[in-house]
Chain A
């Protein structure tokens, strides 16, 4: 298990790449849905006012 983390000293490079990629892809994937929800909320407030 430790070997999978350290990867003979290359672990820091490999894992930072995978984590960075995961963060960017999650950000890209959720962005349109977050924006859509904001748009909806903004317009609902407009109607109530």
Chain B
């Protein structure tokens, strides 16, 4: 850890993580909310309706960002699971506890916005096609990560079980990604490829990419805020918590 700058080394200690991270959370919240407002207002009012879908395509500016991060948050939890199993870092466990509910709600939003979008475009809110089923499995995996901690009383055992579930469940992510390529689905193929073409017109990219970046920033902020809360819960008996409760420390 010696190679890291001092402010980063401080974050590894629960006490300084709790005190130092608050200013980060505030800035991430502000930036994320402003970005989402700009991107959403732009997407709602300042771009023309899509050629075939009309105005209903404006749901894309919400659906695509939340669906992307529903998956990325899961990958990050699986990485934290590897870190926990191999290096036993306490922070990895805190991260898994903090990120699982965020991922759950992002997945729920991806499914919810997709169902609403499906009504005017497909003519149905729900079809059991490969993309929708695998995303539904993702929601259940997140639920498992949340519930497992409550049903296993021994914290160390719970974290190990969670890590294994997170890593094994990560198999679902490439299947979600390629479900629309490998199988016949009602869901359309991807519009954005990381190393390829973007089949979205330039005028629609500005609000979409603004919202993708903003959901990323806001998600990071919310996960850090949750980590801050989990940190104090796990350290409730420590000496440094009392001054904070008495209001002598921010």
Give the interface of A toward B (CB within 8 A): 4, 7-11, 13-14, 16-18, 20-21, 24-25, 27-29, 31-33, 35-36, 39-40, 43-44, 47
Contact = CB atoms under 8 A, between A and B. Distances in A.
Interface in B39-69: 40, 44-45, 49, 54-56, 58-59, 62-63, 66
Query: What is the predominant secondary structure among interface residues of chain B facing chain A?
Result: helix
8 contacts: A7-B58, A8-B54, A13-B120, A16-B116, A17-B116, A32-B222, A32-B226, A39-B236
A18 B44 contact: yes
B229 interface: yes
B245 interface: yes
Residues of B in contact with A, size category: 35 or more
B66 A21 contact: yes
Given A4-B45, A10-B55, A28 B222 contact: yes
Interface of B: 29, 36, 40, 44-45, 49, 54-56, 58-59, 62-63, 66, 101-102, 105, 108-109, 112-113, 116-117, 119-120, 218, 221-222, 225-226, 228-229, 232-233, 236, 241, 244-246
B233 to A, nearest CB: 7
B221 A29 contact: yes
Given A17-B116, A43-B245, 9 more contacts: A10-B58, A13-B116, A17-B59, A18-B62, A29-B225, A33-B225, A36-B232, A39-B232, A39-B233
